[in-house]
Chains A and B, each alone.
Chain A
Amino acid sequence: MSTAGPDFPQLVPTARSMSPGDFANKVFRSQSGIESRVQYGNKASNKTMDLEYSNITETDAAAIHDHYLACNGTLYYFGLPQKPKSGNETFSVNDGSESTSNRFSSTPFGMRYRYAEPPQFNSVKSGRMSVTVKLIGVLDS
């Protein structure tokens, strides 16, 4: 089991994109073209979540930067609190639970988020920065 880092900062993003991942499976295709698919697990994996923060204050950008360091970069997993997931309340309900209707959460399938890659920090002007964060859901035993 890998180490848990602190929760992601409570910041509402400017834009968010999510891919729910897929269930592990293998496709066997015969010479006739007939396909057989074998599912290897009951949990989707490789869920991705991209968060964009445009023109945020340096303080908020620093919070993301420090969180990345606190998670030892892409090593530790962490929880995603309410605010990064907010804005589509009917799509993702029961936010505090591990319900599968909590669609932006990483918890329904026992997953946790970790950084897929180092976040990108772009300086816009004095006092303002834009940050792009790419997260990936990982199954944790």
Chain B
Amino acid sequence: MTYYSGKDGTLTYNGSQVAKVSNWSISSTVDALETTVLTESDRSYVPGLRTISGSATVFYYDSAPVSLLERVVKATVVSESDILVIKLGWGIKYIQGNCIITSAELSCAVGEVMQASIQFQFTGAPTGVAL
């Protein structure tokens, strides 16, 4: 029996581990397509499309978050070459998939360590899951 905590968490992109990750989260949802017909008294559904998205916060230590930020914050247009393989790990467990960085936010405030927040969207099914 093992508990997991923040010290077990990792975030890697294209095989490289991102340093100074403060937190990450991931969410998976499935659309419920309604199939209720006129003669039924209870709603019925079938599973529809799945959406997996997540977010992460990285302290701006040296250039730790740059590789993620530069997929969105750059002079050139965002293209399919900016799709990353992101792997969220905890211990030996992980969720991995092809992702598009959908949001990159930098914040700098008095009395706080500068940090970058990113949000990402999985494209396609996860390429690896070990829960």
Contacts and interface: CB of A to CB of B under 8 A. Distances in A.
Interface of A: 12-16, 54-56, 86-88, 124-125, 128
Interface string B19-41: 00000000000000111111100
B49 interface: yes
Interface string B34-61: 1111110000001011000000000000
Interface residues of B, number: 10
15 contacts: A12-B38, A13-B37, A14-B34, A14-B37, A15-B38, A54-B35, A55-B34, A55-B35, A55-B46, A87-B37, A124-B48, A125-B48, A128-B33, A128-B46, A128-B48
A55 B38 CA distance: 14
B38 A14 contact: yes
B47 to A, nearest CB: 9
Nearest to B38: A87
Contacts of A13: 37-38
B32 to A, nearest CB: 10
Interface of B: 33-39, 46, 48-49
Contacts of A54: 33-35
Contacts of A88: 38
Most buried by A among B34, B39, B48: B39
Contacts of B48: 55, 124-125, 128
B34 A16 contact: no
Nearest to A51: B38
